Homo-oligomer: A and B are copies of this chain.
Amino acid sequence: MFENKEQSKTPITDLGEFGLIKHLTNANKKVNATTVMAVGDDAAVIENTQEQTLISTDMLVEGVHFDLAYAPLKHLGYKAVAVNLSDICAMNAIPSQITVSLALSNRFTVEAIEELYKGIYLACDTYGVDLVGGDTTSSNAGLVISVSVIGQAKAEDVCYRHMAKEKDLIVVSGDLGAAYIGLQLLQREKAVFEVNPNMQPELEERHSYMLERQLKPEARKDIVELLKKMDLKPSAMIDISDGLSSEVLHLCEDSSLGCRIYENKLPIDPQVVNTAEEFSMHPSTCALNGGEDYELLFTISMEDFDKIKGNPNMTVIGHMTAKEDGANLVSSSGDMLPLTAQGWSSIEKTE
């Protein structure tokens, strides 16, 4: 009665390691002029520019950073690349090349890894970066993905964490908290997937923004380009992977300063506000401690305020203070609370 669409399932052993790498990198093409040699030798070769080279690396582990019960492999491949590119963007630099290493258990078929690579290549296309190398190996446990990313920037453009100045404005790109709510939605649906692992989740349209933020985050390369166009160099910059509070505290610590963040300035999407209610969470908590938003957090001199004023991509959420003043949050009701990276219990929604 029902046609059961059988997917072709080729064991990885049919190709072997070298065969698999060749198979996956066949369609690989270079888009950056600086890529001299991509995959296919002992190392990739990159032409040096008059700029500086930046390198960052991140490892994603199954069961820790992702759950294949609800993260489609293509999205996972995209996300693994995007979150790494985000680190280069957070230095005010432009990513140009990546390497990808995978450890795979034998439960993964060639077709599954092709899906993962589709996402990896889509991210490469989207961001104009070249896949130039990597390593594929077996694993006794789950899937481990390690991505390294190379980028370039002029020495005078590189933004470090430790260069914020007192009275600098604290700015955040985009909006916050959506990725965290997306994770809550997926975890709620997971029970359904577990009954039938082949079942597609029926998630509601009104949740689509939050799910996309969680499953397919973007690196804000566009903000780096926008800042350049605005002729605006942030004094310090970091990306928001662990939650706004944690990242603001990094800027404070590394710059030996304090800060004041205003709760009512936090940019939060209305969908996040509505959905947080369903989980009895305060939207500000999601924005402050949720993490995985991959927005950029940066500081600018007050004189530069006119450059960003009214820009819908950037929101001033506070300012840097002297170290002695501490790192504080001014709540919507006007209370001043110490900013902590562990969560902000006093604004937990109780009604």
Residues of A within 8 A of B (CB): 36-37, 40-59, 61-65, 87-88, 90-91, 93, 97, 99, 101-103, 132-135, 137-142, 144, 146, 148-151, 155, 158, 160-162, 237-239, 254
Contacts and interface: CB of A to CB of B under 8 A. Distances in A.
Contacts of A141: 139-142
B45 A146 contact: no
Total identical chains: 2
Nearest to A44: B55
Given A42-B239, A57-B133, 7 more contacts: A43-B91, A48-B52, A55-B97, A57-B101, A59-B135, A59-B146, A64-B137
Contacts of A162: 41
Nearest to A65: B137
Contacts of A146: 57, 59, 101, 135, 144, 146
Contact of A138 (B58, B64, B102, B158): B64
A146 to B, nearest CB: 4
Nearest to A64: B138
A148 B64 contact: no
23 contacts: A37-B158, A40-B161, A40-B254, A41-B91, A41-B162, A42-B161, A43-B55, A44-B55, A46-B52, A46-B55, A48-B48, A48-B50, A55-B55, A55-B133, A57-B135, A59-B102, A59-B146, A64-B137, A65-B137, A99-B148, A135-B146, A139-B141, A144-B146
A157 to B, nearest CB: 11
Given A48-B48, A151-B43, A144 B61 contact: yes
B45 A48 contact: no
Contacts of A237: 42
Contacts of A61: 103, 137-140, 144
A57 to B, nearest CB: 4
Contacts of A88: 42-43
The CB with the most chain B CB atoms within 10 A, among A44, A103, A138, is that of: A103
Contacts of A133: 55-57
Given A51-B48, A52-B36, A144 B43 contact: no
A88 B99 CA distance: 15
Given A53-B48, A101-B59, A134-B57, A43 B93 contact: yes
